[in-house]
A and B are shown apart, each in its own frame.
Chain A
Amino acid sequence: MDTSRPEPQLSALYQELILDHYRRPRNKGTLEDATHSVSLNNPLCGDEIDLQLRVDGDVIKEARFIGRGCSISQASASMMTQLLKERTVPQAIALAERMSAMMQGDDGAARDKTLGDLRALAGVSKFPVRIKCALLPWNALTDAMKAGRG
Chain B
Amino acid sequence: MLDVARIRADFPLLAQRENGHRLVYLDNAATTQKPQVVLDAIVDYYRTTNANVHRGAYDLAIRATEAYEAARAKVAAFVNAWAPEGVVFTRGTTEAINLVAGSYGRATLKAGDSVVVTGMDHHSNLVPWQILCQEKGATLRMVEITEDGRIDLSDFGRALERTPKIVAFPYVSNALGTVNPAAQLAKLAHAVGAVVVVDGAQSTPHLKVDVQALDCDFYALSGHKMLGPMGSGALVAKPDLLDAMPPYHGGGEMISRVWDDHSTYNKIPHKFEAGTPNVEGAVGLAAAITYLEGIGLDRIAEHEQALAAAAIEKLIQIEGVTVYGPHALGHRAGVVSFTYGDVHPHDIATILDRDGICIRAGHHCTQPLMRRLNVAATARASFYLYNGPDDVDALAGALVKAGALFGYVPA
Cβ-closest chain A residue relative to B18: A4
Stretch at the interface among B145-153, B218-226, B316-324, B362-370: B362-370
Given A45-B377, A48-B376, A69-B376 in contact, is the A130-B407 Cβ separation under 8 Å?
no
The reply on B276 being an interface residue by CB < 8 A is no
Residue contact B19 to A127, C-beta cutoff 8 Å: no
What is the CB-to-nearest-CB distance from A145 to chain B, in angstroms, rounded to a whole number? 27
- Chain B residues in 8 Å Cβ range of A3: 16-17
The reply on B249 being an interface residue by CB < 8 A is no
- The CA-CA distance from A46 to B380 in the complex, in Å, is 15
A to B CB contacts below 8 Å, 27 in the list: A2-B20, A3-B17, A4-B17, A4-B19, A4-B20, A7-B20, A7-B354, A10-B351, A11-B405, A13-B350, A19-B406, A19-B407, A44-B362, A45-B361, A46-B362, A46-B376, A47-B346, A69-B344, A69-B346, A69-B376, A70-B345, A70-B347, A71-B347, A72-B346, A130-B346, A130-B350, A133-B346
- The CA-CA distance from A129 to B351 in the complex, in Å, is 13
Interface of B is mostly: mixed
Identify which of residues 1-42 in chain A touch chain B, using a CB-to-CB cut-off of 8 Å: 1-4, 7, 10-11, 13-14, 19, 23
Residue contact B363 to A45, C-beta cutoff 8 Å: yes
The reply on B342 being an interface residue by CB < 8 A is yes
- Chain A residues in 8 Å Cβ range of B346: 45, 47, 69-70, 72, 130, 133
- On chain B, the number of residues with a Cβ less than 8 Å from chain A's Cβ atoms is 24
The reply on A111 being an interface residue by CB < 8 A is no
- The CA-CA distance from A11 to B354 in the complex, in Å, is 11
What is the CB-to-nearest-CB distance from A39 to chain B, in angstroms, rounded to a whole number? 14
- On chain A, the number of residues with a Cβ less than 8 Å from chain B's Cβ atoms is 25
Cβ-closest chain A residue relative to B376: A68
**Contacts across chains A and B counted by CB atoms under 8 Å:** 61
Name 17 extra pairs, CB < 8 A, besides A45-B346, A45-B362, A70-B347: A1-B17, A2-B16, A2-B20, A3-B16, A3-B17, A4-B18, A7-B19, A11-B405, A14-B351, A14-B406, A23-B342, A45-B363, A46-B362, A70-B345, A72-B346, A72-B347, A129-B350
Cβ-closest chain A residue relative to B17: A2
What is the CB-to-nearest-CB distance from B381 to chain A, in angstroms, rounded to a whole number? 17
- Chain B residues in 8 Å Cβ range of A129: 350
The reply on B15 being an interface residue by CB < 8 A is yes
Contact for A127 among B350, B370, B407, CB less than 8 A: B350
- Chain B residues in 8 Å Cβ range of A70: 344-347
- The CA-CA distance from A44 to B376 in the complex, in Å, is 12
- Chain B residues in 8 Å Cβ range of A71: 344, 347, 406
- The CA-CA distance from A58 to B119 in the complex, in Å, is 47
Cβ-closest chain A residue relative to B12: A1
- The CA-CA distance from A46 to B363 in the complex, in Å, is 6
What is the CB-to-nearest-CB distance from B324 to chain A, in angstroms, rounded to a whole number? 15
What is the CB-to-nearest-CB distance from A131 to chain B, in angstroms, rounded to a whole number? 12
- The CA-CA distance from A3 to B16 in the complex, in Å, is 8
- Chain B residues in 8 Å Cβ range of A127: 350
Cβ-closest chain A residue relative to B342: A23
Cβ-closest chain B residue relative to A9: B354
Q: Quick one: which of A14, A46, A72 has the most chain B CB within 10 A?
A: A46
- The CA-CA distance from A129 to B354 in the complex, in Å, is 13
